[in-house]
Amino acid sequence: MNIGGESIRVVHPLFQTEGGGSTPTSPLQLHIGQIHIMQAIQLNATWHSRLPNVIRGNIDRNRHSVCYAAEYANVFYAVAIWSSPVARKLATSGDEWLELRRMAIANDAPKNTASRMISVMVRMIKIAFPSITRVISYQDTAVHAGTIYKASGWKREATSTDADGWQSRNRRLNQATGTKIRWGKDL
């Protein structure tokens, strides 16, 4: 598998479906479904603008974790990685909350792919994890405006300007420094 190349994007290389492999023109054409964590990590490494590296143990050691991808004509166009909240302050909510840890979209994905994917994933999470009552995510204000969360009905909850707040004494977390906005949505 070529992590930096196009072969990682092919879903079922042995099967041809309708559409002939052309690029989708609408996010409504994308099929969103669950994928294996290693495949999600590889897709994230290919597309994520600021945090391409994800440590598997930081995702699947949590009580809850799930990964989704959007595909069309056997080609992936977006990926999302969810897990129980990482922040210690939210650890008590770990059984009822799920955090969108990473979301990455290919450059050739249709406009509005992110907001549609978030809406579909939230519906899928409600079914797959009936105990989850809330979803959260953090916006990196240096590169994003929060439009995808607004479009998906999420509410702005908190702002952190502590660039060192993403570190602990024992390790440096794989997070961007700078101002973050936490968004949330009740399920």
The larger pLDDT score, comparing residue 36 to residue 21, is at 36
Give a yes or no: residue 174 inside a domain: yes
**1 in a structural domain:** no
pLDDT, position 143:
82
State the amino acid at position 95 in one-letter form.
D
Q: What is the domain-level CATH number for residue 46?
A: 3.40.630.30
pLDDT at 132: 94
Greater confidence (53 vs 75) lies with: 75
Which residue shows structure tokens 């939210």? Answer: 90
What stretch of H or E contains 120?
helix 113-128
Query: 169: which 2 tokens?
Result: 């004494």
Residue 20 has pLDDT above 60, yes or no: no
Whether the CB-CB separation of 63 and 95 falls below 8 Å is answered with: yes
Q: What rounded mean pLDDT belongs to the chain? A: 82
Structural domain includes residue 111: yes
pLDDT higher than 80, residue 44:
yes
Domains: count for the chain: 1
Which band of pLDDT confidence, cut at 50, 70 and 90, is reported for residue 23? confident
pLDDT at 10: 73
**Does 23 reside within a domain?**
yes
Residue range(s) defining the domain that contains residue 124: 6-186
Is 127 within a domain? yes
| Per-residue burial over 5-37, b = 16 or more CB atoms within 10 Å of its CB, e = otherwise | eeeebebeeeeeeeeeeeebeebebbebeebeb
Q: 118-171, pLDDT tens digit by residue?
A: 999 999 999 999 999 999 999 888 888 899 999 999 999 988 876 544 444 544
Q: What percent of the chain has pLDDT over 90?
A: 52
Report the range out of 7-21, 58-72, 111-125, 151-165 with the highest average pLDDT: 111-125
| 75 or 62, which is more confident | 75
pLDDT of residue 62: 74
Residue of 54 and 154 predicted with greater confidence: 154
Indicate the DSSP class of residue 143.
T
- The answer to which of 49-63, 89-103, 118-132 has the lowest mean pLDDT is 49-63
Q: Please report whether residue 80 resides in a domain.
A: yes
- Residue 43 included in any domain: yes
User: Alpha-carbon distance 116 to 183, whole Å?
Assistant: 16
